[in-house]
Amino acid sequence: MKQRVEKIFALLDPKPDAVVLANAVDPHLDQSFFYLFEVPAGLFEGSVAVAHPDGELDVLSSPLEAETAFEAAKHDPHVKVHVVNRDETEDAVKQLLAPGGTYALNHRELTHGWFVQLEKLLPQVKWTDASDAIRKARATKEPHEIELLRKAAEIGSEVGREIPGLLKTGITELELAAEMEYRMGRHGASGRSFSTIVAFGPHGAEPHYSPRDTPLKPGDSIVCDFGAYYRRYASDITRSFHFGPRDAEMKEVHDTVFAAQEAALAAVRPGVPGKEVHNAALQVIDASRWKGRLNHGVGHSIGLVVHDGWGYGPKVEDPLEVGMAITVEPGIYLPGHGGVRIEDDIVVTPDGYEFLTTAPREYREVPA
């Protein structure tokens, strides 16, 4: 997409002759390839994109996905698709790049193997790194991207509203996760944006816990952290519930996390350093009797991947900008007992922020 190529070049100084993005084998695909080449689906293993300063984009596609590639290119007059077999890729790259040119790569998403291959293929080329410019370009979303993120967030929110109806004694973490992912698919997701976390009782104390065969039992707290892909854009939402009977401490923990999230949200506006949003949540938690129980940064950017290149914790000076899509996700974790995390996706607006996720965040107790 011309506008995005130009956005990246505007952030590069000095300007390279082109920006080169190269995919290896799944999962080692450069998601920025899909930022510039808006093909709604497809794997594109081994594909290469060459973005030129005038906004034009050359894409090498394998014959396996040629029709999908041509159809996407039909909608964009600035994209030219070349169909090449894997063993023709090197020659095709050579034809697109000048032997003595300066080309920028995306170090954050290129495999070192591809780099070594490119260096050998074009020994006279000067290679530079465009990854910061690419990350920055991707961080502030266009209205069209925000609509895709909103749709992904809405799919997650619908499932968030449905979870209470799925809770029953004996359902396992894995079964609940499968049910949630199925519902995301039925609501229009092309897949989950990351491995669904469902944590019952003490498991909720580990932020990146992975679901097992643990059955739900009365008195358990429940943390569900999940997200959908919609046309390659990700959502990321966490909802915490309680399976009755009430646990007075966990109710209070939930209310504290809710207050921490509200404080963080209130700090969100353009120009504010990321750490201020983090610290707003942290202060609420550290003023409670669960001081020290928040052990991670309060959020990160979302976009073509769920961790879209930027996160904010206590030391992050980078300011929020209009159009950034981020999560706000404080939590309190009590080893041996349980956890509560509340996570929403928002987009930074000139006045503050706007929610992308819409499911209720308040304490919700489901009777066992």
Binding residues (CB under 8 A) for a second copy: these are 24-29, 31, 40-43, 45, 62-68, 87, 105, 107-116, 129, 131, 174-175, 177-179, 181-182, 185-186, 188-192, 194-195, 205-212, 295-296, 305-307, 309, 315
Cα 335 from chain centroid (whole Å): 27
Provide, rounded to whole angstroms, the least separation between the CB of residue 232 and a second copy.
11
DSSP class of residue 357 equals -
DSSP-derived pairing of the beta strands 79-83 and 102-105 = unpaired
Query: Which amino acid belongs to residue 207?
Result: P
User: Could you tell me the smallest distance in angstroms from the CB atom of residue 195 to a second copy?
Assistant: 6
**Which of residues 25 and 98 has its CB atom nearest to a second copy in the complex?**
25
What is the per-residue DSSP string for 208-228? T----SPBP-TT-EEEEEE-E
Q: Which is nearer to a second copy, 52 or 107 (CB)?
A: 107
CB of 10 to a second copy, least distance (A): 22
Q: What are the structure tokens assigned to 340, written together? A: 């509560």
Q: In the complex with a second copy, which residue's Cβ is closer, 107 or 337?
A: 107
* 243 beta partners: 366
CB of 245 to a second copy, least distance (A): 26
User: Which is closer to a second copy, CB of 177 or CB of 348?
Assistant: 177
Residue whose CB is less far from a second copy, 160 or 207: 207
Least distance to a second copy, CB of residue 42, Å: 5
Element (H, E) at 265: helix 248-267
Which CB atom, from 16 or from 309, has the smaller least distance to a second copy?
A: 309
* Nearest of 128, 160, 213, 192 to residue 343 by alpha carbon: 160
| Closest approach of a second copy to the CB of residue 49, in Å | 16
- Sequence-ordered list of residues with C-beta below 8 angstroms from that of 248, at least 6 positions apart, any chain: none
DSSP track, 81-108: EEE--GGGHHHHHHHHS-TT-EEEE-TT
